[in-house]
Amino acid sequence: MFLKLISYILFSVSLLFAAPTYTIRFSHVVAPSTPKGKAALYFKKRLEKLTDGKVRVIVYPNSKLFNDSEVLKAMKEGKVEMAVPSLSKLTSLVPQVQIFDLPFLFDDMSHVHRVMSGEVGKTIKKLITKKGYIALNFWDNGFKQLSSSKRALFTPSDAKNQHFRIMNSKVLKAQFNAVGAKATVLPFSKVYEALKSRKVDAAENPLSNFYSKKFYKVQSSLVLSSHGYLGYMLIISKSFWDKLPKKIQKDIKIASDDATTYERKLAKNMESVYLSKLEAYAKTHPNFHILKLNKNERDVWKRDMSIIYPKFYPQIGLNLIDEVEKERR
Protein backbone atom coordinates (compact mmCIF):
# COMPACT_ATOMS: atom_id res chain seq x y z
CA MET A 1 0.00 0.00 0.00
CA PHE A 2 2.86 2.34 0.94
CA LEU A 3 4.66 1.60 -2.33
CA LYS A 4 1.47 2.29 -4.31
CA LEU A 5 1.09 5.62 -2.51
CA ILE A 6 4.71 6.59 -3.28
CA SER A 7 4.22 5.59 -6.94
CA TYR A 8 1.06 7.69 -7.16
CA ILE A 9 2.82 10.70 -5.62
CA LEU A 10 5.79 10.37 -8.01
CA PHE A 11 3.43 10.02 -10.97
CA SER A 12 1.48 13.11 -9.89
CA VAL A 13 4.68 15.12 -9.49
CA SER A 14 5.90 14.02 -12.93
CA LEU A 15 2.63 15.23 -14.45
CA LEU A 16 2.97 18.52 -12.62
CA PHE A 17 6.40 19.18 -14.12
CA ALA A 18 5.81 17.54 -17.49
CA ALA A 19 6.22 19.69 -20.58
CA PRO A 20 2.87 20.98 -21.87
CA THR A 21 1.34 19.47 -24.97
CA TYR A 22 0.10 21.69 -27.80
CA THR A 23 -2.25 20.79 -30.61
CA ILE A 24 -2.13 22.50 -33.99
CA ARG A 25 -5.15 22.10 -36.24
CA PHE A 26 -3.88 22.59 -39.80
CA SER A 27 -6.57 23.33 -42.39
CA HIS A 28 -6.21 23.35 -46.18
CA VAL A 29 -8.49 22.91 -49.19
CA VAL A 30 -6.74 20.52 -51.57
CA ALA A 31 -6.25 16.77 -51.82
CA PRO A 32 -3.60 15.01 -49.69
CA SER A 33 -1.99 13.79 -52.93
CA THR A 34 -1.10 17.31 -54.11
CA PRO A 35 2.24 18.99 -53.31
CA LYS A 36 0.52 21.17 -50.68
CA GLY A 37 -1.29 18.17 -49.21
CA LYS A 38 1.90 16.12 -48.99
CA ALA A 39 3.88 19.03 -47.58
CA ALA A 40 1.30 19.55 -44.83
CA LEU A 41 1.80 15.93 -43.76
CA TYR A 42 5.58 16.36 -44.02
CA PHE A 43 5.36 19.39 -41.73
CA LYS A 44 3.29 17.39 -39.24
CA LYS A 45 5.81 14.55 -39.05
CA ARG A 46 8.81 16.88 -38.92
CA LEU A 47 7.41 19.08 -36.14
CA GLU A 48 6.19 16.18 -34.04
CA LYS A 49 9.65 14.64 -34.27
CA LEU A 50 11.47 17.89 -33.47
CA THR A 51 9.32 18.45 -30.38
CA ASP A 52 9.43 14.83 -29.18
CA GLY A 53 5.65 14.70 -29.38
CA LYS A 54 5.06 17.84 -27.33
CA VAL A 55 3.25 19.28 -30.34
CA ARG A 56 0.54 17.32 -32.10
CA VAL A 57 -0.47 18.40 -35.60
CA ILE A 58 -3.86 17.37 -37.03
CA VAL A 59 -4.15 18.00 -40.77
CA TYR A 60 -7.57 18.62 -42.29
CA PRO A 61 -7.41 18.47 -46.14
CA ASN A 62 -10.11 18.98 -48.78
CA SER A 63 -11.87 21.83 -46.89
CA LYS A 64 -12.97 19.34 -44.21
CA LEU A 65 -12.56 21.96 -41.51
CA PHE A 66 -12.76 25.30 -43.34
CA ASN A 67 -12.40 26.59 -46.86
CA ASP A 68 -9.91 29.35 -47.65
CA SER A 69 -12.59 32.02 -47.42
CA GLU A 70 -13.48 30.97 -43.87
CA VAL A 71 -10.14 29.99 -42.41
CA LEU A 72 -8.72 33.45 -41.65
CA LYS A 73 -11.72 34.32 -39.50
CA ALA A 74 -11.60 30.87 -37.88
CA MET A 75 -7.97 31.45 -36.92
CA LYS A 76 -8.90 34.74 -35.23
CA GLU A 77 -11.65 32.92 -33.31
CA GLY A 78 -9.29 30.18 -32.13
CA LYS A 79 -11.04 27.44 -34.11
CA VAL A 80 -7.91 26.51 -36.06
CA GLU A 81 -4.26 27.33 -35.51
CA MET A 82 -2.65 26.91 -38.90
CA ALA A 83 -3.49 27.18 -42.58
CA VAL A 84 -1.93 27.59 -45.99
CA PRO A 85 -4.41 29.68 -47.99
CA SER A 86 -3.82 30.82 -51.54
CA LEU A 87 -2.19 34.22 -51.70
CA SER A 88 -5.33 35.64 -53.30
CA LYS A 89 -7.20 35.06 -50.04
CA LEU A 90 -4.84 37.43 -48.25
CA THR A 91 -5.31 40.38 -50.60
CA SER A 92 -8.22 41.80 -48.60
CA LEU A 93 -5.93 41.98 -45.55
CA VAL A 94 -2.80 43.11 -47.35
CA PRO A 95 -3.44 44.67 -50.79
CA GLN A 96 0.26 44.37 -51.67
CA VAL A 97 -0.21 40.58 -51.98
CA GLN A 98 -2.08 41.32 -55.22
CA ILE A 99 1.34 41.51 -56.87
CA PHE A 100 1.34 37.72 -57.13
CA ASP A 101 -2.00 37.73 -58.99
CA LEU A 102 -0.88 40.06 -61.77
CA PRO A 103 -0.95 38.12 -65.07
CA PHE A 104 2.33 37.52 -66.94
CA LEU A 105 4.41 39.31 -64.29
CA PHE A 106 6.86 36.48 -63.60
CA ASP A 107 9.24 34.86 -66.07
CA ASP A 108 9.49 31.48 -64.38
CA MET A 109 9.52 29.81 -60.96
CA SER A 110 13.09 30.89 -60.23
CA HIS A 111 12.01 34.49 -60.75
CA VAL A 112 9.09 33.98 -58.36
CA HIS A 113 11.37 32.53 -55.67
CA ARG A 114 13.88 35.38 -55.94
CA VAL A 115 11.05 37.85 -55.46
CA MET A 116 9.73 35.94 -52.44
CA SER A 117 13.12 35.79 -50.74
CA GLY A 118 13.83 39.46 -51.52
CA GLU A 119 12.33 42.75 -50.40
CA VAL A 120 8.86 41.95 -51.78
CA GLY A 121 8.56 38.75 -49.75
CA LYS A 122 9.97 40.35 -46.59
CA THR A 123 7.61 43.32 -46.86
CA ILE A 124 4.54 41.15 -47.38
CA LYS A 125 5.41 38.85 -44.47
CA LYS A 126 5.72 41.84 -42.12
CA LEU A 127 2.38 43.24 -43.29
CA ILE A 128 0.61 39.90 -42.77
CA THR A 129 2.09 39.55 -39.28
CA LYS A 130 0.67 42.98 -38.38
CA LYS A 131 -2.79 41.58 -39.20
CA GLY A 132 -2.53 38.84 -36.57
CA TYR A 133 -0.97 35.96 -38.50
CA ILE A 134 2.63 34.81 -38.37
CA ALA A 135 3.75 34.47 -42.00
CA LEU A 136 6.11 31.52 -42.08
CA ASN A 137 6.78 30.65 -45.72
CA PHE A 138 5.59 30.87 -49.30
CA TRP A 139 4.56 27.55 -50.88
CA ASP A 140 4.20 26.84 -54.60
CA ASN A 141 1.47 25.35 -56.65
CA GLY A 142 2.63 26.48 -60.04
CA PHE A 143 1.66 28.54 -63.02
CA LYS A 144 -2.00 28.54 -63.95
CA GLN A 145 -3.42 27.15 -67.18
CA LEU A 146 -6.73 27.94 -68.88
CA SER A 147 -9.52 25.38 -69.31
CA SER A 148 -13.03 25.50 -70.74
CA SER A 149 -16.00 23.34 -71.68
CA LYS A 150 -17.34 25.92 -74.11
CA ARG A 151 -14.50 26.97 -76.41
CA ALA A 152 -10.75 26.41 -76.28
CA LEU A 153 -9.03 29.54 -74.97
CA PHE A 154 -6.41 29.81 -77.68
CA THR A 155 -6.67 33.58 -78.16
CA PRO A 156 -8.05 36.34 -75.92
CA SER A 157 -11.08 36.64 -78.21
CA ASP A 158 -11.98 33.05 -77.31
CA ALA A 159 -12.62 34.19 -73.74
CA LYS A 160 -15.32 36.66 -74.74
CA ASN A 161 -18.60 35.96 -72.90
CA GLN A 162 -17.21 32.85 -71.25
CA HIS A 163 -18.01 32.51 -67.56
CA PHE A 164 -14.89 31.91 -65.42
CA ARG A 165 -14.59 30.70 -61.87
CA ILE A 166 -12.05 32.75 -59.97
CA MET A 167 -10.67 33.04 -56.47
CA ASN A 168 -11.69 36.13 -54.54
CA SER A 169 -9.28 38.57 -56.17
CA LYS A 170 -9.88 41.94 -57.77
CA VAL A 171 -6.88 41.36 -60.02
CA LEU A 172 -8.25 38.07 -61.34
CA LYS A 173 -11.65 39.61 -61.98
CA ALA A 174 -10.03 42.49 -63.83
CA GLN A 175 -7.82 40.23 -65.97
CA PHE A 176 -10.80 38.29 -67.30
CA ASN A 177 -12.96 41.36 -67.72
CA ALA A 178 -10.13 42.79 -69.84
CA VAL A 179 -10.65 40.03 -72.41
CA GLY A 180 -14.45 40.25 -72.39
CA ALA A 181 -15.11 37.35 -70.02
CA LYS A 182 -17.31 37.15 -66.93
CA ALA A 183 -15.95 36.09 -63.56
CA THR A 184 -17.59 34.49 -60.53
CA VAL A 185 -15.94 33.90 -57.15
CA LEU A 186 -16.43 30.35 -55.90
CA PRO A 187 -14.77 28.33 -53.11
CA PHE A 188 -12.39 25.71 -54.45
CA SER A 189 -14.54 22.92 -52.97
CA LYS A 190 -17.43 23.94 -55.26
CA VAL A 191 -15.51 24.27 -58.52
CA TYR A 192 -16.01 20.73 -59.83
CA GLU A 193 -19.80 20.84 -59.49
CA ALA A 194 -19.93 24.34 -60.97
CA LEU A 195 -18.00 23.17 -64.02
CA LYS A 196 -20.01 19.98 -64.31
CA SER A 197 -23.36 21.78 -64.12
CA ARG A 198 -22.12 24.51 -66.51
CA LYS A 199 -22.74 27.15 -63.88
CA VAL A 200 -19.36 28.33 -65.10
CA ASP A 201 -17.70 27.53 -68.42
CA ALA A 202 -14.06 27.93 -67.63
CA ALA A 203 -11.37 28.18 -64.97
CA GLU A 204 -7.69 28.77 -64.35
CA ASN A 205 -5.72 26.21 -62.40
CA PRO A 206 -2.21 24.81 -62.01
CA LEU A 207 -1.92 21.27 -63.31
CA SER A 208 -1.91 19.78 -59.79
CA ASN A 209 -5.38 21.16 -59.03
CA PHE A 210 -6.69 20.44 -62.50
CA TYR A 211 -5.64 16.79 -62.32
CA SER A 212 -6.18 15.96 -58.63
CA LYS A 213 -9.73 17.36 -58.67
CA LYS A 214 -10.52 15.68 -62.00
CA PHE A 215 -11.50 18.91 -63.71
CA TYR A 216 -10.46 17.30 -67.01
CA LYS A 217 -13.64 15.20 -66.80
CA VAL A 218 -15.84 18.30 -66.93
CA GLN A 219 -13.76 20.46 -69.30
CA SER A 220 -13.17 19.86 -72.99
CA SER A 221 -9.92 21.79 -73.41
CA LEU A 222 -6.80 22.77 -71.52
CA VAL A 223 -4.58 25.53 -72.87
CA LEU A 224 -1.05 25.65 -71.43
CA SER A 225 -0.85 29.40 -70.98
CA SER A 226 1.21 29.73 -67.78
CA HIS A 227 -0.31 33.18 -67.51
CA GLY A 228 -0.24 33.61 -63.75
CA TYR A 229 1.34 32.23 -60.62
CA LEU A 230 -0.62 30.46 -57.89
CA GLY A 231 1.06 30.20 -54.54
CA TYR A 232 0.22 29.89 -50.87
CA MET A 233 1.27 31.39 -47.58
CA LEU A 234 1.91 29.10 -44.64
CA ILE A 235 0.53 30.99 -41.65
CA ILE A 236 -0.08 30.37 -37.97
CA SER A 237 -2.31 32.29 -35.57
CA LYS A 238 -0.29 35.01 -33.84
CA SER A 239 -2.33 34.72 -30.63
CA PHE A 240 -1.52 30.99 -30.53
CA TRP A 241 2.11 31.61 -31.50
CA ASP A 242 2.63 34.12 -28.69
CA LYS A 243 1.64 31.48 -26.12
CA LEU A 244 4.26 29.00 -27.30
CA PRO A 245 7.66 28.53 -25.66
CA LYS A 246 10.57 29.96 -27.68
CA LYS A 247 11.93 26.44 -28.28
CA ILE A 248 8.70 25.30 -29.91
CA GLN A 249 8.53 28.49 -31.99
CA LYS A 250 12.03 27.69 -33.21
CA ASP A 251 11.03 24.10 -34.01
CA ILE A 252 8.00 25.33 -35.98
CA LYS A 253 10.26 27.58 -38.06
CA ILE A 254 12.65 24.70 -38.73
CA ALA A 255 9.79 22.36 -39.71
CA SER A 256 8.29 25.12 -41.86
CA ASP A 257 11.56 25.74 -43.71
CA ASP A 258 12.10 22.02 -44.28
CA ALA A 259 8.53 21.53 -45.47
CA THR A 260 8.89 24.50 -47.83
CA THR A 261 11.99 23.01 -49.47
CA TYR A 262 10.17 19.70 -49.78
CA GLU A 263 6.98 21.29 -51.14
CA ARG A 264 8.72 23.38 -53.80
CA LYS A 265 10.72 20.44 -55.07
CA LEU A 266 7.63 18.26 -55.13
CA ALA A 267 5.57 20.92 -56.93
CA LYS A 268 8.23 21.21 -59.63
CA ASN A 269 8.57 17.46 -60.11
CA MET A 270 4.85 16.77 -60.05
CA GLU A 271 4.13 19.32 -62.78
CA SER A 272 5.57 17.03 -65.46
CA VAL A 273 3.88 14.00 -63.89
CA TYR A 274 0.45 15.63 -64.00
CA LEU A 275 0.98 16.79 -67.58
CA SER A 276 1.94 13.27 -68.67
CA LYS A 277 -1.18 11.86 -67.03
CA LEU A 278 -3.38 14.45 -68.70
CA GLU A 279 -1.77 13.78 -72.08
CA ALA A 280 -2.42 10.06 -71.64
CA TYR A 281 -6.04 10.82 -70.79
CA ALA A 282 -6.40 13.03 -73.86
CA LYS A 283 -5.20 10.20 -76.13
CA THR A 284 -8.07 7.98 -75.03
CA HIS A 285 -10.69 10.72 -74.75
CA PRO A 286 -11.03 12.61 -78.06
CA ASN A 287 -13.42 15.12 -76.51
CA PHE A 288 -10.62 16.49 -74.34
CA HIS A 289 -7.79 18.47 -75.95
CA ILE A 290 -4.54 19.96 -74.70
CA LEU A 291 -3.06 22.95 -76.52
CA LYS A 292 0.17 24.83 -75.86
CA LEU A 293 0.71 28.50 -76.65
CA ASN A 294 3.91 29.49 -78.40
CA LYS A 295 5.70 32.72 -77.49
CA ASN A 296 3.87 34.89 -80.01
CA GLU A 297 0.47 33.51 -78.99
CA ARG A 298 1.29 34.00 -75.34
CA ASP A 299 2.42 37.56 -76.03
CA VAL A 300 -1.05 38.37 -77.41
CA TRP A 301 -2.61 37.25 -74.13
CA LYS A 302 -0.01 39.24 -72.21
CA ARG A 303 -0.73 42.38 -74.23
CA ASP A 304 -4.47 42.16 -73.60
CA MET A 305 -4.33 41.23 -69.92
CA SER A 306 -1.46 43.41 -68.74
CA ILE A 307 -3.45 46.57 -69.48
CA ILE A 308 -4.89 46.14 -65.97
CA TYR A 309 -1.52 46.82 -64.27
CA PRO A 310 -1.87 50.61 -63.78
CA LYS A 311 -5.19 50.11 -61.99
CA PHE A 312 -3.38 48.26 -59.18
CA TYR A 313 -0.21 50.34 -58.90
CA PRO A 314 -1.63 52.52 -56.07
CA GLN A 315 -2.63 49.46 -54.02
CA ILE A 316 0.46 47.35 -54.62
CA GLY A 317 3.03 50.10 -54.79
CA LEU A 318 5.36 50.87 -57.68
CA ASN A 319 8.31 50.20 -55.36
CA LEU A 320 7.33 46.52 -55.12
CA ILE A 321 6.74 46.29 -58.88
CA ASP A 322 10.24 47.73 -59.36
CA GLU A 323 11.65 45.05 -57.05
CA VAL A 324 10.09 42.36 -59.25
CA GLU A 325 11.74 43.94 -62.29
CA LYS A 326 15.12 43.99 -60.53
CA GLU A 327 14.93 40.23 -60.03
CA ARG A 328 14.63 39.47 -63.76
CA ARG A 329 17.60 37.65 -65.32
166-187 pLDDT per residue, tens? 999 999 999 999 999 999 999 9
The string of pLDDT tens digits covering residues 45-67 is 999 999 999 999 999 999 999 98
Of 31, 251, 239, 51, nearest in space to 133 by CA: 239
Q: Count how many domains the chain has.
A: 1
Give residue 329's pLDDT: 84
Quote the domain boundaries for residue 281: 19-326
**Position 10 in a domain:** no
Is 17's pLDDT higher than 80? no
Q: Which residues are CB-contacts of 277 (< 8 A; sequence separation ≥ 6)?
A: 211
**Position 157 in a domain:** yes
Tell me, what CATH number does 96's domain have? 3.40.190.170
**Position 187 in a domain:** yes
Q: pTM for the complete prediction?
A: 0.88
Strand pairing class (221-237; 133-148): antiparallel
Give residue 10's pLDDT: 46
The string of pLDDT tens digits covering residues 265-318 is 999 999 999 999 999 999 999 999 999 999 999 999 999 999 999 999 999 999
Beta bridge partners, 235, equal 83, 135
**Position 8 in a domain:** no
